[in-house]
Amino acid sequence: MSLLIAEHLCVLRGDRVLLKDFSLVLAAGELLHLRGANGVGKTSLLETLAGLRSAGGGSLRYARDEAALHWLGHRNGLNLNLSPLENLRFWCGLNGLSGERVTAVLDQLQLPARAQRRACRSLSAGQKRRTALARLLLQERPLWLLDEPLDGLDAAGLALFARLVAQHLAAQGAVLMTSHQPLPGALRARELAL
């Protein structure tokens, strides 16, 4: 089953055409790794696929609807004055979730209890990234669009990320991601160079 079908997309940044006549099918259980030089349009493509940027043409279809996807940008999207617990409970409230699983998810992502309660500004880059990744687990959505999700993760964080993605794929989810880093060894992906 295809979770995402893009046909003949034109991806723009302002008036500049970054990608023209771009087509893609992403199936359930599939990991697609987008590669390319800086400025080629990887982030703009992901933003277009996530509905955050208008396409200059073409069509985009989802197996369900846009609400069935998670977007994780290269920035963590955290209020640095709030703790991971506060950030994620706020996010849960915005998405109609109770927030009762926040602590369990942060524990699953191996964020120490002390770090869960400290302002995000005082956390390491890896701890901030784990906090952002927690959103993927707080609400089940079949399609994950991830822009540079490996940034800031140490070896343990990369192994944890690989396990999360493998579990998502085994549950018939799909992941489309960019990364300047090699994928963690356990992950096998279809590679697409832009």
82-118 confidence digits (pLDDT tens): 999 999 999 999 999 998 999 999 999 999 999 999 9
The domains of the chain, with CATH numbers, are 2-193 (3.40.50.300)
- pTM above threshold 0.85: yes
User: CA dihedral in degrees (106, 172, 4, 15; nearest 10)?
Assistant: 30
The pLDDT assigned to 153 comes to 94
Task: Note the pLDDT of residue 39.
Answer: 86
Mean pLDDT (whole number) for 129-149: 96
How many angstroms separate the first and last alpha carbons of the chain? 25
pLDDT band at 50 (very low <50, low <70, confident <90, very high): very high
Give pLDDT tens digits for 32-46.
999 988 889 999 999
The dihedrals phi and psi of 61, each to the nearest 5 degrees, come to -130, 145
